[in-house]
């Protein structure tokens, strides 16, 4: 049969892994740490995983490659130039790796996202010759963009951006226009310089659409570096874990906490995270908790906000939701939550005095309040707090607003001016997380649970 490439999406982190097969054997590219998903897919297709491939030492998640290779007996391909603490098949630019009679991989050095980044061309046997089907590009050539170049430090960002331009051009020159492009990043990952502009792509399409292939090197470097915003603090721990060799994961249920234990953990300054939707959180929640619903990128924001290593307790309506959260957290190296509790807030406390509500509004309500017609039950907006990222703020913001990006808020709570705070983000998710932090600090707060792109039409004055 012809080669089949399946996508394994990790939308919460904005990444993709791949399983490529000829119907007998399979190659897995850039697997996430919860490898049971990959093994289930291989079993479903009735194929044997013989090769596991890393395009680079990942900075945004803990890899499952080492464990997958150990369990399946597959060969584990990692760049020879990367110094790692485990056995692997060391590969370099120009290497060809036979996979089966019908499949092979060609290794192409594509530095830029990292210094030793590799891409892998997937060739299919075609009448006694080989035909390139596509290329696994990791954090090199993405859909309409490239991987960011500052993750190894700002001092390397300029040089790596030049490498990124040369690497993309090399892939475009090496492969036919019809070759598929299979990137790991670009679907919401902070490893991407900007977001993907399509669900799939080819070399030919990238030549037309991707700035890295349309701009001269210096122009690309200038544009890329100017567009980079902050990236999650937990990235500092991912490369270290991946270089050392990640341990197997343990996704078994963690201990249940009763009301007294939850109160003790909150009093001790630990993170007790409410995974329910923000509207449910607003209706009623346990005082001292933080809202990070499973409907958004919970693990990214939690990993970014916490002091690394602080105990984390998870609250959810069901055990399945806690299990989903555990799975997300192991992907960024938070291996075992301290405790969990399921049900409703009334079950997490032994007294109603420990329950709290969170008031919500929208941008029309903000416009009315600023015009002197504050809706009943809401305080006047003495402070409008914008917790979006810097690039979002620069693109346009509420006139007179205070800007503190959500990841900075725990350390900058004292900078938020006195008075009732109306807090917003781009949709309401980050604003609710921020509001929970502010409320925990004793502030009067209202969440603007609305999309920012509706603010202007609602009559809210905006400025650049």
SS3 per residue for the chain? CCCEEEEEEECCCCEEEEEEECCCEEEEECCECCCHHHHHHHHHHCCEEEEEECCCCCCCCCECHHHHHHHHCCEEEEECCCCCCCCCEEECCCCEEECCCCEEEEEEECCCCCCCCEEEEEEEEECCEEEEEEEEEECCECCCCEECCCCCCHHHHHHHHHHHHHHHHHHHHHCCCCCEEEECCCCCCCCECCCCCCCCEEHHHHHHHCHHHHCCHHHHHHHHHHHCCCCCCCHHHHHHHHHHCCCCCCCCCCCECCHHHHHHHHHCCCEEEECCCHHHHHHCEECCCEECCCCCCHHHHHHHHCCCCCCEEEEECCHHHHHHHHHHHHCCCCCCCCEEEECCHHHHCCCHHHEECCEEECHHHHHHHHCCCCCCCCCCCCEEEECCCHHHHHCCEECCCEECCHHHHHHHHHHCCCCCEEEECCCCHHHHHHHHHHHHCCCCEEEECCCHHHCCCCCCCEEC
What DSSP string describes 52-102?
Answer: EE-SS--SSS-B-HHHHHHHHT-EEEEETTS--SS--EEE-TT-EEE-SSS
Helix, strand, or coil (residue 399): coil
Q: How distant, in Å, are the alpha carbons of 248, 271, 306, 385 from that of 221? A: 39, 40, 33, 33
C-alpha span between 373 and 385 (Å, rounded): 19
Tokens matching residue 136: 């696994």
Question: Among 105, 199, 213, 204, which residue's Cα sits nearest to residue 167?
Answer: 213
* pLDDT digit string (tens) for the chain, length 464 residues: 589 999 999 998 999 999 999 999 999 999 999 999 999 999 999 999 999 999 999 999 999 999 999 999 999 999 999 999 999 999 999 999 999 999 999 999 999 999 999 999 999 998 889 999 999 999 999 999 999 999 999 999 999 999 999 999 999 999 999 999 999 998 888 888 877 778 899 999 999 999 999 999 999 999 999 999 999 999 999 999 999 999 999 999 999 999 999 999 999 999 999 999 999 999 999 999 999 999 999 999 999 999 999 999 999 999 999 999 999 999 999 999 999 999 999 999 988 899 999 999 999 999 999 999 999 999 999 999 999 999 999 999 999 999 999 999 999 999 999 999 999 999 999 999 999 999 999 999 999 999 999 999 999 999 99
How do the residues of the chain divide into helix, strand and coil, expressed in percent and rounded to 5? Answer: 35, 25, 45
* Packing angle of the helix pair 298-305, 319-330 (nearest 10 deg): 60
C-alpha span between 143 and 124 (Å, rounded): 23
pLDDT number for residue 188:
83
Question: Among 348, 208, 181, 213, which residue's Cα sits nearest to residue 272?
Answer: 348
Residue 283's CB is within 10 A of a number of other CB atoms, namely: 13
Residue 442, C-beta contacts closer than 8 angstroms, at least 6 positions apart: none
pLDDT number for residue 262:
97
Sheet holding 96-98, edge to edge: 96-98, 103-109, 118-126, 129-138, 180-183, 201-202
Question: Among 460, 405, 450, which residue's Cα sits nearest to residue 427?
Answer: 450
Helix, strand, or coil (residue 198): coil
pLDDT number for residue 136:
98
Tokens matching residue 10: 């990790």
pLDDT number for residue 134:
98
Q: How many angstroms from the chain centroid is the CA of residue 353?
A: 36
pLDDT number for residue 150:
94
pLDDT number for residue 1:
56
- Cite the beta strand spans of 89-236 per DSSP E: 89-91, 96-98, 103-109, 118-126, 129-138, 180-183, 201-202
C-alpha span between 168 and 64 (Å, rounded): 27
Domains and CATH numbers, the chain: 4-244 (3.60.15.10), 259-356 (3.40.250.10), 359-463 (3.40.250.10)
């Amino acid at each position: 049969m012809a080669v089949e490439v399946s996508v394994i999406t990790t939308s919460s982190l904005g990444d993709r892994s791949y399983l490529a097969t000829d119907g007998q054997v399979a190659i897995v590219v850039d697997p996430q740490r919860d490898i049971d998903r990959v093994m289930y897919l291989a079993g479903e297709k009735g194929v044997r995983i013989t090769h596991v491939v890393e395009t680079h030492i990942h900075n945004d998640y803990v890899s499952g490659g080492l464990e997958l290779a150990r369990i399946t007996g597959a060969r584990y391909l990692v760049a020879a130039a990367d110094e790692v603490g485990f056995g692997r098949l060391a590969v370099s630019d120009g290497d060809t790796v036979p996979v089966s009679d019908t499949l092979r991989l060609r290794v192409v050095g594509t530095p830029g996202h990292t210094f030793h980044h590799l891409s892998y061309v997937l060739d299919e046997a075609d009448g006694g010759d080989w035909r390139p089907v596509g290329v696994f590009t990791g954090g090199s050539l993405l859909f309409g963009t490239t991987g960011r170049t500052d993750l190894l430090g700002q001092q390397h960002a300029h040089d790596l951006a030049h490498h990124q331009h040369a690497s993309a051009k090399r892939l475009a020159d090496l492969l036919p226009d019809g070759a598929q492009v299979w990137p790991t990043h670009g679907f919401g990952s902070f490893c991407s310089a900007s977001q993907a502009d399509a669900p799939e792509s080819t070399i030919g399409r990238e030549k037309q659409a991707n700035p890295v292939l349309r701009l001269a090197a210096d122009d690309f470097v200038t544009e890329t570096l100017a567009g980079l915003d902050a990236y999650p603090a937990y990235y500092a721990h991912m490369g270290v874990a991946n270089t050392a060799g990640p341990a197997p994961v343990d996704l078994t249920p963690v201990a249940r906490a009763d009301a007294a234990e939850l109160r003790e953990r909150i009093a001790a300054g630990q993170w007790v995270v409410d995974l329910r939707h923000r509207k449910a959180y607003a209706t009623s929640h346990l005082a001292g908790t933080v809202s990070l619903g499973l409907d958004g990128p919970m693990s990214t924001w939690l990993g970014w906000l916490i002091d690394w290593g602080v105990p984390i307790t998870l609250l959810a309506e069901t055990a399945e939701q806690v299990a989903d959260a555990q799975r997300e957290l192991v992907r960024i190296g938070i291996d075992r939550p301290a405790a969990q509790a399921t049900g409703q807030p009334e079950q997490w406390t032994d007294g109603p005095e420990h329950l709290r509500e969170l008031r919500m509004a929208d941008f029309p309500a903000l416009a009315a309040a600023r015009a002197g017609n504050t809706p009943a039950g809401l305080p006047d907006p003495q402070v409008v707090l914008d917790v979006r990222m810097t690039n979002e703020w620069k693109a346009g913001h509420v006139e007179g607003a205070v800007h503190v990006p959500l990841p900075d808020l725990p350390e900058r709570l004292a900078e938020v001016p006195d008075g009732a705070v109306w807090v917003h983000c781009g949709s309401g998710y980050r604003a609710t997380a921020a509001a929970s932090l502010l409320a925990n600090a004793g502030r009067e707060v209202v969440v603007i649970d609305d999309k920012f792109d509706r603010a202007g039409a609602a009559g809210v004055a905006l400025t650049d």
